[in-house]
């Protein structure tokens, strides 16, 4: 199923613009009378019929709408940007496909790349959401300094992944259907001072497994662990 993103949707009509409009008209050769599926980024799917094609936009009439699947938990990943922007973009794409609600670029003492291209990341979120049939977009927040982030986040359901052999495995420390926030550090890990600041706040240290992971890989592993814990719970509940 091919999905288009429409920023302008009301009860009866939708306007498709930008890259989605070009893909609809130039690549797929859609024409008035054709039926298409839209998302609004807020959690809704729409079935619509194209009523007009102009140079810069496509107009469609809404036939029906339905709510997309909503996970019974929220996942926020606060993760340090990495030196190679394409690797961080890869993380964003795959995390959205797996299932994440909020991504916070976390600026730590050892973070080498301290800025991100916000619009590019948002475009990646849109593309990955369409690919994975998600009607609600993940939120990409503006980069935050580590200390500022700690001052804003609570300790309940919040974890910090760092290189310590004495920490418990993340998958065993989270409860299904519970909101989760996890902090992922830069290459070279969090500094001892950053780890202590998190622990003093009551944030729980966790391990993501025996392998030493790149930052972006650690983010994907954390995302998949949360997804798996909840999928297994759903299977058990339905069996």
Residue 55, pLDDT score: 82
- 170-184 in b/e form (b: 16+ CB < 10 A) is bbebbeeeebbbbbb
Residue 239, pLDDT score: 64
What is the pTM (predicted TM-score) of this model?
A: 0.93
Q: Which of 153, 106, 100, 162 is nearest to 129 (CA)?
A: 100
Show the tokens assigned to 226: 């949360």
Dist. CA 157–CA 73, nearest whole Å:
11
Decide: 99 and 223 in contact? Cβ < 8 Å. yes
Cα–Cα separations (whole angstroms), residue 224 to 100, 106, 110, 125, 171: 10, 20, 25, 17, 10
Per-block mean pLDDT, blocks of 10 residues, the chain (239 long)? 88 89 84 93 95 88 94 96 96 98 97 94 96 96 97 95 85 95 95 96 94 95 96 77
Name 105's bridge partners: 79
Could you give the domains of the chain? 3-67 (2.40.240.20), 75-238 (3.40.1280.10)
């Amino acid at each position: 199923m091919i999905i288009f993103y429409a920023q302008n949707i009301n009860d009866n009509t939708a306007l498709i613009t930008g890259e989605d409009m070009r893909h609809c008209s130039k690549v797929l050769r859609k024409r008035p009378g054709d039926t298409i599926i839209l998302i609004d980024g807020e959690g809704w799917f729409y079935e619509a019929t194209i009523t007009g094609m102009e140079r810069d936009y496509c107009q469609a009439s809404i036939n029906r709408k339905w709510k997309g699947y909503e996970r019974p938990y929220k996942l926020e990943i606060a993760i340090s940007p990495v030196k190679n922007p394409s690797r961080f973009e890869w993380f964003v794409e795959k995390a959205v496909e797996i299932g994440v609600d909020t991504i916070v670029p976390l600026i730590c003492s050892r973070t080498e790349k301290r800025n991100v291209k916000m619009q590019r990341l948002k475009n990646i979120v849109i593309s990955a959401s369409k690919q994975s049939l998600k009607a609600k977009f993940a939120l990409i927040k503006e980069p935050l300094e580590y200390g500022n982030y700690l001052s804003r986040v609570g300790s309940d359901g919040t974890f910090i992944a760092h290189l310590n052999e004495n920490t418990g495995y993340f998958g065993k420390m989270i409860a299904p259907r519970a909101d989760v926030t996890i902090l992922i550090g830069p290459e070279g890990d969090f500094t001892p001072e950053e780890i202590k600041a998190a622990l003093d706040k009551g944030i729980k240290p966790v391990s993501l497994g025996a392998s030493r992971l790149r930052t972006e890989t650690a983010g994907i592993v954390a995302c998949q662990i949360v997804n798996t814990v909840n999928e297994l719970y759903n299977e058990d509940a339905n069996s």
